[in-house]
Amino acid sequence: MTPERRAHRPQQTRKHSWRRASSQPATADRPPADAPQPHAEQTPAPASAPSVVQAALYRDGVRVSSPTSLAATFRELRAQPDGMAWIGLARPTEAELLSLAAEFDLHELAVEDAMEAHQRPKLERYGETLFVVLRAARYLDAPEEVDFGELHVFVGADFVITVRHGAAPDLSAVRRRMEEDPELLRLGPEAVLYAILDAVVDGYAPVVSGVQNDIDEIETEVFSGDPEVSRRIYELSREMVEFQRATRPLVSMLHGLMAGFAKYRTDEELQRYLRDVADHVTHTSERVDGFRQALTDILTVNATLVTQQQNAEMRALAEAGFEQNEEIKKISSWAAILFAPTLVGTIYGMNFETMPELKWAAGYPFAILLMAVVCVSLYFIFKRRDWL
């Protein structure tokens, strides 16, 4: 879409089934919002606040206007034939997206993706409009975990629309960087897309560093026998799967952009910048693949160490049980040896007049001899069986 066509854009005539709202911007009836703060795009807007985080019009790389609503943005863009609109949205409403679709002729499939979110990273071209989905990431030090955000970018001949679902990335920093470099911003929407891609990819570096520290800590915990390390390995492995899904598609996306350099006459300086981003993405993707493999290896080592520890515990229990059995054998043997004279003495200690041995002169020596013979016999029997 050329600036001349934008200046005299006709009314939309094709009707779509998903277009349930009118083409009038949803923010037209809103009271004007306060001027955006320098870091307004860093955190998501509250549910009650306007979804338009920041909007600005640029001409020749310089900001010329800062509209406070979508309606004002559309109106001022029509009045700037050679201008560019950069609209930042955070979790916009359906009506806001539909008003943008009607104004900039955005494809219905891209608008549906931006509404639903939870999309995989991709780059698609609908006529003269590029639709890019990015997964940004940031490392949270306190919980030691990776937080992922989703960013949808519409890039046309005279506009850039960003739709953020999440806290990352910090697009206010991207805007400041571009406004401080008018020569780069003068290259148009493609330069803004490069800056956004560069910010997302640069945001991966702290995540890579944080994950590397986590893996180092996990290795120490594995060999120290920490029982909670298995859960930490699993959680970090799951985050690395998400990280792979965020970084791996970016490699093919950037190569797709580079393949269109000649066709779309991309500025040579911008080509070099995009190649540099592609190199960083490739490096990050390789690091993430290495992290996932390292976590798999650590999990295997941890499972082996746990198995060895369990085997050692079972062996110790078996040895303890064997020793207890030996003690029980000894106790049982001596109990049996002592039980024999007790039994004989008990029998001869009964006071019955009809017992035949009561009048026998050799009865006492016989009883003593019987006790000794039984005890000695039992002793040698148990000794032969290694009970004593």
Higher-confidence residue of 91 and 130: namely 130
State residue 231 phi and psi, 5-degree precision.
-65, -40
Higher-confidence residue of 203 and 43: namely 203
Q: Which CATH superfamily is domain 1-9+41-181 in?
A: CorA soluble domain-like (3.30.460.20)
Which pLDDT does position 192 carry in this prediction? 93
Query: How does strand 159-165 pair with strand 84-90?
Result: parallel
User: What is the tens place of the pLDDT at every residue in 268-311?
Assistant: 888 888 899 999 999 999 999 999 999 999 988 888 888 888 88
The 8 Å CB, 24+ separation contacts for 207-210 are 207/137, 207/138, 207/139, 207/146, 207/243, 208/284, 208/287, 208/288, 208/291, 209/139, 210/139, 210/141, 210/144, 210/146
By CB neighbour count within 10 A (0-12 exposed, 13-18 middle, 19+ buried), where does 42 fall? middle
- The residues, ordered by sequence, that sit 6+ positions from 185 with a Cβ below 8 Å of its Cβ are 58, 61, 62, 178, 179, 191, 192
Which pLDDT does position 183 carry in this prediction? 92
Spatial separation of the C-alpha atoms in residues 355 and 370, rounded to whole Å: 17
Could you give the angle at the alpha carbon of 189 between the alpha carbons of 186 and 195, nearest 5°?
85
> Which value, in Å, is the radius of gyration of the alpha carbons in the chain?
41
Judged against a pLDDT cut of 90, whether residue 43 lies above it is answered with no
Which pLDDT does position 50 carry in this prediction? 53
Closest CA to 197 of 121, 118, 145, 259: 121
State residue 87 phi and psi, 5-degree precision.
-115, 125
Residues β-bridged to residue 155? 130, 160
Q: What is the mean pLDDT of residues 248-267?
A: 84
Query: How does strand 129-140 pair with strand 145-155?
Result: antiparallel
Higher-confidence residue of 26 and 167: namely 167
Q: pLDDT band for position 348 (50/70/90)? A: confident
Q: pLDDT band for position 332 (50/70/90)? A: confident
Q: What is the mean pLDDT of residues 336-354?
A: 79
Q: What is the mean pLDDT of residues 202-224?
A: 91
Given the structure tokens 């949803």, which residue do they identify? 26
Could you give the angle at the alpha carbon of 250 between the alpha carbons of 247 and 256, nearest 5°?
165
Which pLDDT does position 280 carry in this prediction? 93
29 CB neighbour count, 10 Å cutoff: 9
Judged against a pLDDT cut of 80, whether residue 45 lies above it is answered with no
Q: Backbone dihedral region of 165: left (phi > 0), alpha (psi from -120 to 50 degrees) or beta?
A: beta
Higher-confidence residue of 28 and 54: namely 54
Which pLDDT does position 36 carry in this prediction? 40
Which pLDDT does position 369 carry in this prediction? 87
Closest CA to 55 of 83, 29, 20: 83
User: What is the tens place of the pLDDT at every residue in 53-93?
Assistant: 788 999 999 999 998 888 888 988 888 888 899 999 888 88
Q: pLDDT band for position 38 (50/70/90)? A: very low
| Extents of the domains making up the chain | 1-9+41-181, 325-384
Among the ranges 10-24, 44-58, 78-92, 257-271, which has the highest mean pLDDT value? 78-92
| Average pLDDT, rounded, for the chain | 81
Coil, helix or strand for 124? strand
Higher-confidence residue of 40 and 265: namely 265
Spatial separation of the C-alpha atoms in residues 60 and 37, rounded to whole Å: 24
DSSP structural state of residue 159:
E
User: What is the tens place of the pLDDT at every residue in 376-388?
Assistant: 888 888 888 888 7
DSSP structural state of residue 167:
S
CATH class belonging to 325-384: mainly alpha
* E-state strands within 127-251: 129-140, 145-155, 159-165
